[in-house]
Structure 1
Amino acid sequence: MSRHFDQAQGLTEEHDPATHEFVFNQTMLRIKDPERALKFYTSVLGMTLIKRLDFDEMKFTLYFLACIPPERLIDWSNDDNQRIVQTFSRPAMLELTHNWGDESDDSVSYHSGNEQPKGFGHIGFAVPHIDDACERFESLGVEFKKKPNDGGMKGIAFIKDPDGYWIEIFTPDRLPDLLGGRL
């Protein structure tokens, strides 16, 4: 029996026991203006800042955000060291990196990865109801790259954060119908 749920060239069946407790922890995006980016991610997408780390000598700050339901906030420690352990133990966090001074440097901008040369593409958020979420994003003035009914792939949207990074928005329950012809 395969350890993979699908097939593709390059997969290995061997699962080294040394990797059994590995956790995919974070994706990092560079940001120009932390105030603008944090407002977007905490207000528009509802993320919670769980840890901020300032590196004075190297002049940068890291902001670690996660989607945490309000009732689960009590699970997080007020002890700084314990929260560092919690932060770096959990899956699926967003790390925003701010190099000090970028916010006032007009020559600084970041490549979204969707223009040439292409590379990084997007991060994704599952939402309960894509149409309701997109109506809310629109009312908040969020920039869309693609609305749910645009383009060839209906039912997913892409919004942009303040630095131009693309964020895919989708409703998991709708994906089987959307992707049905590709299964």
Structure 2
Amino acid sequence: MSDQSTRFRMMHTMIRVFDLEKSIKFYTELLGMTLLRRDEYPDGKFTLAFVGYGPEENNTVVELTHNWDQATPYEIGSGFGHLALGVNDIYAVCSELERNGASIPRKPGPMKHGTTHIAFIEDPDGYKIELIGLDTMK
């Protein structure tokens, strides 16, 4: 059997966003990602914006999909869980995010059944993003 880890590579995760500019601002300004590329598809009436912490060639990124004709915000549904980002000093990070307008429905603190400290924030469309305290993981 071949080594599957050399055959496959996680490239991106895609979420549909209602207000593309607001979402790009959230992911780049509040979470420190870079807008890697933005592709317009006029015939299909949609735009794809890729954001992440490094080039797509060797990093997993987030694809923000904006359908031009979407009249109302998307329903997130019950199947999607969350994106996860590792951070150092989760309390300081959350404090800064909150000062800059981020919604933090689950304030930082230890997991219920562990010692790692986590928090949950929400992007402009209500997608949950788990912050994991890298310096608290055991």
TM-score by length of 2: 0.88
Distance 1:139 1:150, change over 3 A: farther
Partner of 1:134: 94
Q: CA contact under 8 A between 1:52 and 1:64: conserved in structure 2?
A: yes
- The alpha-carbon deviation at position 149 of structure 1 amounts to 3.0
Q: What amino acid is the match of 1:38?
A: I
Which residue is equivalent to 2:120?
A: 158
Amino acid at match of 2:6: H
Secondary structure, aligned partner of 2:22:
helix
Shift of the 19–67 alpha-carbon distance from structure 1 to 2, 3 Å rule, reads closer
2: CA distance between counterparts of 1:163 and 1:17? 38
- Per-residue CA deviations over 1:127-168 (Å, capped at 9, x if unaligned) read 111011001011012111200138736720000000000000
Higher Rg = 1
Q: Is the 8 A contact 1:23 1:91 kept in 2?
A: no
Preserved CA contact (<8 Å) 1:110 1:164: no
CA distance in 2, matches of 1:109, 1:150: 32
- Contact kept in structure 2, 1:145 and 1:166, CA below 8 Å: no
Q: Provide Cα deviations, 1:110-138, integer angstroms capped at 9, x if missing partner.
A: 2334xxxx211000111111011001011
> Judging changes above 3 Å, is the alpha-carbon distance between structure 1 residues 173 and 55 closer, same or farther for their aligned structure 2 residues?
same
Choose 142-151 or 39-48, whichever is displaced more. Answer: 142-151
Provide structure 1 residue ranges, at least 5 long, that are not aligned to the other structure: 1-13, 69-85, 177-183
Number of aligned residue pairs:
136
Q: Give 1:15-164 correspondences, 5 Å limit.
A: 16-17=2-3, 20-68=6-54, 87=56, 89-102=57-70, 105=71, 108-113=72-77, 118-149=78-109, 152=112, 155-164=117-126
Deviation per CA, 1:3-54, whole angstroms, max 9, x where unpaired? xxxxxxxxxxx4x357624210000000000111011001000110111111
- What residue identity is the alignment partner of 2:127? Y
> By percentage of residues, which structure has more strand?
2
Equivalents in 1 of 2:18, 2:92: separation in Å?
A: 29
Q: Distance in 2 between matches of 1:21 and 1:54?
A: 30
Quote the residue 1:10 is aligned against. none
Distance in 2 between residues matched to 1:143 and 1:45, nearest whole Å: 13
2:89–2:135 CA contact under 8 A, matched in 1: no
Q: Normalization by structure 1: what TM-score?
A: 0.67
User: Counterpart of 1:90 in 2: which secondary structure?
Assistant: coil
Given the superposition, is the C-alpha separation of residues 28 and 138 from structure 1 closer, same or farther in structure 2, using an over 3 Å criterion? same
